[in-house]
Amino acid sequence: MERARILFGFRHLGFGFDSGFGFRVSDLLTVVRLQKFLADAGVASRRASEEIILAGQVSVNGETVRQLGAKVDPLHDKVTVDGQPLRARRKMYVALNKPAGVVCSRKDEFSRSSIYDLLPKEWQHLHSVGRLDYNSEGLIFLTNDGEFSLRLTHPRYGVRKKYLATVEGRLEAEVLRKFIQGISYMGERLKAEKARLLSASHSKSVVELELAEGKYHEVRRLFESQARTVERLQRIQIGKIKLGELPASKWRTLTEPEIKSLLS
């Protein structure tokens, strides 16, 4: 019993060394913060999980834990919430070709179709990594890995996203140069890392754009700043992962190399 308490103390503090108690340096690779473990298990968001911990509802190996810095080993420690044992869910990474006319939220006040209607029922706990608006289509990821979502959506990581935009009328090269230089529109700085004209006629133009930040409706607002309307917007690539031949409304799981490429 005493040995178990000492072991938990080491894991709780996040320390690891060959102590003679069987706790090895390699154990450091498995320990995670308690609030992250709760979030991965689907209990609540990480912030809400912190409140659950502070309320004394969480026990690790039979001992109540109220410290937010606590760490656990998902492979060995027994975690309970209000007496109910928890297991971390297997992490999942799904690529979906979102069609136009579908929302990314679970519930919609207008009862419109959702991307969750396209997934198996047992995957309803997944959340979308960023969003595509109702009229936009293309590549979107879904996962239950919060760190994965953060790495792909936070501006500091600069994960590139590539889009195809079909706009009305013939577009001049000068407009694309403005996009790359960056423009101020309605009090916000908007910018494309790359912009390439694929085709142009009197009725429409097709442009490929690459963005690093992905601000709210950024592609549509770039064209709006030039008095141009986007008739179709499709996201075709995130990081190194391309939409490819994935049919509209269909999904596939990401491979291990693809996941690593997105996190590298």
Output the domain CATH number for residue 73: 3.10.290.10
Instruction: Identify the residue with better confidence: 75 or 134.
Output: 134
Domain hosting residue 13, numbered range: 2-85
Last residue of a domain, one of 34, 54, 85: 85
Are the C-beta atoms of 252 and 95 separated by less than 8 Å? yes
Tell me, yes or no, whether 158 and 194 share the same domain.
yes
Instruction: Identify the residue with better confidence: 130 or 147.
Output: 130
Last residue of a domain, one of 85, 114, 141: 85
Are the C-beta atoms of 141 and 157 separated by less than 8 Å? no
Give the pLDDT score at 27: 39
Tell me, yes or no, whether 200 and 111 share the same domain.
yes
Nearest residue to 235 (alpha-carbon basis) of 252, 224, 220: 220
Give the pLDDT score at 82: 94
Tell me, yes or no, whether 127 and 60 share the same domain.
no
Tell me, yes or no, whether 55 and 171 share the same domain.
no
Nearest-10 Cα torsion for 78, 29, 94, 81: 20
Give the pLDDT score at 98: 98
Active-site residues, by number, are 133
Integer Cα distance of 109 and 219 in angstroms: 25
Could you tell me the end-to-end alpha-carbon distance of the chain, in angstroms, rounded to an integer?
42
Most confident of 68-72, 93-97, 145-149: 93-97
Integer Cα distance of 141 and 145 in angstroms: 11
Interval 55-59 mean pLDDT = 96
Give the pLDDT score at 147: 82
Tell me, yes or no, whether 140 and 233 share the same domain.
yes
Are the C-beta atoms of 151 and 262 separated by less than 8 Å? yes
Last residue of a domain, one of 68, 85, 102: 85
**Is residue 2 predicted with pLDDT exceeding 70?**
no
Tell me, yes or no, whether 66 and 154 share the same domain.
no
**Is residue 119 predicted with pLDDT exceeding 60?**
yes
Nearest residue to 35 (alpha-carbon basis) of 19, 11, 52, 18: 52
Share of the chain above pLDDT 70, in %: 89
Instruction: Report the CATH number that the domain containing residue 212 is assigned in CATH.
Output: 3.30.2350.10
Tell me, yes or no, whether 38 and 99 share the same domain.
no
Tell me, yes or no, whether 67 and 97 share the same domain.
no
Total of domains in the chain: 2
Integer Cα distance of 61 and 252 in angstroms: 38
Nearest residue to 185 (alpha-carbon basis) of 221, 217, 146: 221
Most confident of 17-21, 88-92, 105-109, 158-162: 158-162
Tell me, yes or no, whether 36 and 127 share the same domain.
no
Nearest residue to 4 (alpha-carbon basis) of 49, 70, 60: 60
Q: pLDDT-derived band of residue 46, with 50, 70 and 90 as boundaries?
A: confident
Tell me, yes or no, whether 163 and 210 share the same domain.
yes
> What distance separates the 2 farthest-apart alpha carbons in the chain?
80
Tell me, yes or no, whether 110 and 228 share the same domain.
yes
